A and B are shown apart, each in its own frame.
Chain A
Amino acid sequence: MTKNLVMIVVALILAVTGVMAGCAPKAQPEAPADFYKGKTIELVSTASPGVATDLILRIIASYLSGDTSASTIVTDRRGAGGMEGMSYLYKAKPDGLTLGMTASVKFVGNKVMGEPAAEYEIEKFSYIMSIGRRLTYFYVSPEGPYQSVADLKAGKNLKIGATSPSGYVSLADLTVIKLLGLDAKVITGFDGTSELSLAVKRGEVIGYGVEINQASIEAGMIKPIFVLATERDPLMPDVPAITELVNLSGEDLELVKLWETALVNSSLFIAPPGMSEDRMGFLRDLANKWAQDEGFRQEIDAVSGEEVQVYITGEEVTKVMQDTAAALAKFQAIFAELIEKYRA
C-alpha cells in the first residue's frame, strides 16, 4: 500500500513539474545590460583544460561576470577534438547565455578537411572577438639531415608526423608537401605535439607543422625552418616566411594566405548563430573594452606564454570567415586529394 502511494506521489510530482515547465512565462525583451543581471552564462570550452584557449576563456569568465553581474560557468566540451563543443554552440539558443571559445585553426581546419562530425557552418556563427595570432611553422630536428627547404626537396621518402588525419597538424603537413613538392608521406596517429617532438628528436619522423612550440624548441628537440606565411612573424623574426624560400603563385599562394587568416591559431570568442544585434553589440563592446585594459592583457599574456599583440574585433573576424566559407569547397577538394595521395 505504502509502496503504491509513493509511486503515485512521485508520478504526480513529475507531472506537475512537467506542466510547470511548459507554462513558464516568456521573457520580455530588455536591454542587454539588464538582461544579464542575475543570470548564468555558460561558457563552452572546446579545448583541453590547461591549454591557452581554455585558460583565456576562464579569464574572460571572470571579466564577463564582473561587467554583467551574471554568474559564469565554464563547461568542458572538448569531445571529438572540440567538435562536440562547436556543434553544441552552433545549436544552442542564441539568447546570449551560451557563449564559447575555440581555437580557430581547429574550428576552420575541420571544415577544410571535410570532417563529417563538424556539424556547423563557419560563416553563421556570431563572432565577438579573436585573441592572439599564432602562425604555423614547420619544424625539423636541430641535429637531423634536413636543415633547409633545399634539403627537404632533395629528400626521398620523407616521413612527416601528424596527429589525426583530419587534424590541423596533418593539414599543415599536407600544405607543406604540396607547396614544396616533397617526396613524402604523412604518418598519422601521434598523440599530440609533445609526442611528435620526441619522434622528431628520435629521428622517427623528419618534422611536422604546428604553431609556436616554445617548450620543445627550448628543450632542443625541434627547430623551425620556415613559417607558413607571406611575411615573417614578429614573435620569431629570424625564421623566414615560406614565400621567401619558394616562388609561389595562384592556388599555392592562396593556401599560404589561408594560413595567415582563417587558419591562423587564435582563440575565437563566439556566440551561436542568430544572436540579436543589440546583445552582440553589447558583448563586442565589452570585449573591445577588455582588449584595451592593461590588467586583462597581462593575464592573457601570462596564460599564453608570450606577449599577445593581436586582438581582432568580431566584425573583422566575421568578414574573414565569410570569405573563407565562400572558398571552402575549393579547399576541401584540394585537401581531399592530398589526404589520399600522401597518407602513409
Chain B
Amino acid sequence: MFEAYGTAIATLFQPVNLLVMLVAVIIGLIVGIIPGISGATMLAILLPFVFHMPAEVALILLVALHAVVYTSGGITSILLNMPGEGSSAATMLDGFPMTQKGEGSRAIGAAITSSMAGGVVPVVLALAMVPAIMPVIIAFGQPEMAILVLLGISFLAALTGGSVTKGMISGLLGLLLSFVGFHSVTGVHRFSFGTAFLYDGIALVPLILGLFGLSELFHLVMRRETAITQRAVVKLSGVVAGMKDVWRHRWLWFRSTIIGYIIGIIPGIGAGVATWVSYGQAKQTSKHPEKFGTGVVEGVIAPEAADNAKEAGALLTTMALGIPGSAIMALMLAAFLMVGVTPGPSMMTEHLPLALTLLLGVALANIIGGIICLFSASYMVRVASVHLDFLFPGILIVALIGVYVATLSPMDFIVALTFGLFGLVMRRYGYSRPALLLGFILGGMFERYSLLSIKIYGPLFFIRPIPLALLIIMILLLNYPYLKRALPGLWRRRVKP
C-alpha cells in the first residue's frame, strides 16, 4: 500500500503531469465561471483527444479539469447572481447579498477556501472508504433516495424568506414546473401542449439565468444601480478575512463536506441535493438563522464545501465500482475505457497506483485552482462595480450565450427572458426565487423515486430503517431552532429541586 502511494506521488509530480494539470486547472476554472458551459461539455470536447495521449496524462488532464470546475462556479453566483454551474445556485442566496454589502472579496475568499478544502479532505476519506462504498450504495434503494430527496425539499421551509405562505407558493410552483415534459414513468407528456420544445421539460440553465441573473439585471437597470450598493473591499485582506471565516466555522465546513461527500457517493441523487441540504442544515443549526439570505458567510461556506466534496465521492464510485452517478462521471467512465482502464473493483487492485494518482490529483488540482482563484479574487470583484451602461449589455450577452451553449436552442431565449421578468416580479412582491429553484430541481426526482418505490414496495415504502431515520432527521432539523430554545427550559424544570 505504501509503495502504491509512493508511486502515485512520484507520477503526479512528474514535470509533464504537473504542466498538464496546470493547463487543465486553468481551463476548468474558466469553464466553471462561464454560465451555460458545464464541465461535462468541456470533457466531451476533450475526450477524442484523450485517445492520443498516454493513459496517466489523459486521466490527470480530465480529472484535474473536472475537479476545479465547481471551485470557480461559485464566483459568478457571488458577483453577479448568476451561477457558473447549476450546483452553485445555493451560493447565490448569501453570496450575492455579501457583494451588495461590499463584502464580495470576503465571500469569494470564503467560497474558494471552503470549496478547495472540500475537494481535498474527502480524498482522504475516499481512500479509507473503498471497502464500504458498495454496501452504502446498495443500502440506498428507491425508498431511501425518495426520502433523501424529500429531506432536500423540506428545506424549502428554510428558504421562505419573510412570508411563509409566499415562500411555500414559490416552492410549489417550482415543483409544478419540474413536472413539465415527458414523464419517464408513464410516457405521458405533461404540460407540454404537444410541443417538441417542451418534450424534455424546462431546461435548468435558462431558468436559473433568467430567474436570478436577468431579473437582477432588470432590477439594477430599473433602479439605476450598480451591483454593489456599498463600496467594495477590493483588497487581499478581504479575501483573507473570508479564508479565516472558514476556519472560524470549521465544524460547519466539516459537516457540509461530509454531507456533500456521502451524497456524492450515491449515484443518481443529483448535484442539487448536496448543496441545498448543506445550505439548509447550515441555516437550521445557525445561531442566527433569520440572517440567512441577507449575506452571511456561513451561507457561502456550506454549499461550496458540499459542492466540491460531492465530486470526490462520485469519482470514487465511478472508479471503484464502474458506476457513473452523473453525466460528467459517465464521461469520465468513457475516458477510462478509452485509455484501456476498466473501472470497477479490479481497478482498485490491479491499477491501485493509478487510482491513487487520480485521487491525489483531485486534491492537488483543488489546491492549485484555489490558490489561483484566491490571488485573482480581489480583481474579479471589480466586475460588480462596473458601470451599468457596460454591465447590462455585457451580462445580457454572456447570459444568452450561456443559454444557447447549454441547450443549443434559440427558443430558450424566450424561457430566459420570461423567467427574467417573472423573477423580477417575484423579487418585488416578496416571493422566494430560491424556493422555486429548489422545488424545480428536486420535484421531478422526488416524483420518480417515490413512484418507483410505490411500484416496488407498495405505498408504505418508507417504513424501512434508513427512510425512517432520514424522516426523523428531517423533523429534528426543521424543528431544531425551537428545540434549542425549548429543551434547556425543560431540562432546568426537571433538575430543579
Within 8 Å of chain A (Cβ to Cβ): is B14?
no
Within 8 Å of chain A (Cβ to Cβ): is B345?
yes
Q: Are A303 and B196 in contact (CB under 8 A)?
A: no
Our pick among A50, A54, A87, A163 for the contact of B333 (Cβ within 8 Å) is A50
Q: Are A218 and B344 in contact (CB under 8 A)?
A: yes
CB distance from A335 to the nearest CB of B (A): 12
Our pick among B187, B196, B268, B455 for the contact of A187 (Cβ within 8 Å) is B455
Q: Are B48 and A58 in contact (CB under 8 A)?
A: yes
Cβ < 8 Å to A, chain B residues 172-187 = 182, 184-187
Q: Are B186 and A49 in contact (CB under 8 A)?
A: no
Q: Are A76 and B408 in contact (CB under 8 A)?
A: yes
Q: Are B199 and A84 in contact (CB under 8 A)?
A: yes
Within 8 Å of chain A (Cβ to Cβ): is B19?
no
Our pick among A61, A166, A189 for the contact of B452 (Cβ within 8 Å) is A189
Cβ < 8 Å to A, chain B residues 370-424 = 408-409
CB distance from A53 to the nearest CB of B (A): 11
Residues of A within 8 A of B455 (CB): 159, 187, 189, 344
Within 8 Å of chain B (Cβ to Cβ): is A191?
yes
CB distance from A193 to the nearest CB of B (A): 10
* Contact A49:B43 (CB < 8 A) given known A195-B268, A220-B345: yes
Residues of B within 8 A of A189 (CB): 184-185, 448, 451-452, 455
Q: Are A204 and B141 in contact (CB under 8 A)?
A: yes
Within 8 Å of chain B (Cβ to Cβ): is A148?
no
Q: Are B330 and A219 in contact (CB under 8 A)?
A: no
Residue of B nearest to A203 (CB): B141
Cβ < 8 Å to B, chain A residues 50-84 = 50-52, 54-55, 58-59, 61-62, 75-77, 79-80, 83-84
Residues of B within 8 A of A55 (CB): 47-48, 334, 338
With an 8 Å Cβ cutoff, the count of chain B residues facing the other chain is: 48
Residues of B within 8 A of A134 (CB): none
* Contact A219:B184 (CB < 8 A) given known A49-B47, A49-B327: no
In the bound assembly, the distance between CA atoms of A75 and B342 in angstroms comes to 28
Within 8 Å of chain B (Cβ to Cβ): is A302?
yes
* Contact A191:B199 (CB < 8 A) given known A50-B44, A219-B344: no
Within 8 Å of chain B (Cβ to Cβ): is A230?
no
In the bound assembly, the distance between CA atoms of A267 and B464 in angstroms comes to 43
Residues of A within 8 A of B88 (CB): none
Residues of B within 8 A of A49 (CB): 40-41, 43-44, 47, 327, 331
Within 8 Å of chain A (Cβ to Cβ): is B137?
yes
Q: Are B43 and A187 in contact (CB under 8 A)?
A: no
CB distance from A47 to the nearest CB of B (A): 11
Cβ < 8 Å to B, chain A residues 181-211 = 187-191, 194-195, 197-199, 201-202, 204-205
* Contact A164:B330 (CB < 8 A) given known A198-B137, A202-B141: no
The residue in A50, A62, A202 that gathers the most chain B C-beta atoms within 10 A of its C-beta is A50
Residues of A within 8 A of B48 (CB): 55, 58-59, 61-62
In the bound assembly, the distance between CA atoms of A216 and B323 in angstroms comes to 8
The residue in A49, A52, A80 that gathers the most chain B C-beta atoms within 10 A of its C-beta is A49
In the bound assembly, the distance between CA atoms of A342 and B337 in angstroms comes to 36
CB distance from A267 to the nearest CB of B (A): 14
Q: Are A80 and B342 in contact (CB under 8 A)?
A: no
Our pick among A79, A163, A219 for the contact of B199 (Cβ within 8 Å) is A79
In the bound assembly, the distance between CA atoms of A128 and B321 in angstroms comes to 37
Within 8 Å of chain B (Cβ to Cβ): is A18?
no
Q: Are B323 and A188 in contact (CB under 8 A)?
A: no
Residues of B within 8 A of A58 (CB): 47-48
Within 8 Å of chain B (Cβ to Cβ): is A214?
yes
Residue of A nearest to B453 (CB): A204
CB distance from B45 to the nearest CB of A (A): 8
Within 8 Å of chain B (Cβ to Cβ): is A245?
no
Residue of A nearest to B345 (CB): A219
Q: Are A194 and B324 in contact (CB under 8 A)?
A: yes
Q: Are A164 and B184 in contact (CB under 8 A)?
A: yes
Within 8 Å of chain A (Cβ to Cβ): is B443?
no
CB distance from A87 to the nearest CB of B (A): 7
Our pick among B142, B187, B267, B330 for the contact of A50 (Cβ within 8 Å) is B330
Q: Are A303 and B338 in contact (CB under 8 A)?
A: yes
Our pick among A59, A83, A198 for the contact of B267 (Cβ within 8 Å) is A198
Residue of A nearest to B141 (CB): A202
Within 8 Å of chain A (Cβ to Cβ): is B54?
no
* Contact A218:B342 (CB < 8 A) given known A48-B327, A79-B199, A84-B199: yes
12 A/B residue pairs, CB under 8 Å, sorted by A = A50-B44, A55-B48, A83-B199, A87-B196, A159-B455, A164-B184, A165-B186, A188-B187, A191-B448, A219-B322, A220-B345, A344-B455
Lowest 9 A-B CB distances belong to which pairs?
Answer: A49-B44, A189-B185, A165-B187, A50-B331, A215-B322, A50-B334, A80-B199, A58-B48, A305-B337
B-binding residues in A (CB < 8 A): 48-52, 54-55, 58-59, 61-62, 75-77, 79-80, 83-84, 87, 117, 119, 159, 163-166, 187-191, 194-195, 197-199, 201-202, 204-205, 214-216, 218-220, 299, 302-303, 305, 343-344
A84-B199, A191-B448 given; name 16 further pairs at CB < 8 Å.
Answer: A49-B331, A50-B47, A50-B333, A55-B47, A58-B48, A83-B199, A187-B455, A189-B185, A194-B323, A194-B324, A194-B325, A204-B456, A214-B342, A218-B342, A219-B321, A305-B342
A-binding residues in B (CB < 8 A): 40-41, 43-44, 47-48, 51, 137-138, 141-142, 182, 184-187, 196, 199-200, 267-268, 321-325, 327, 330-331, 333-335, 337-340, 342-346, 408-409, 448, 451-452, 455-456
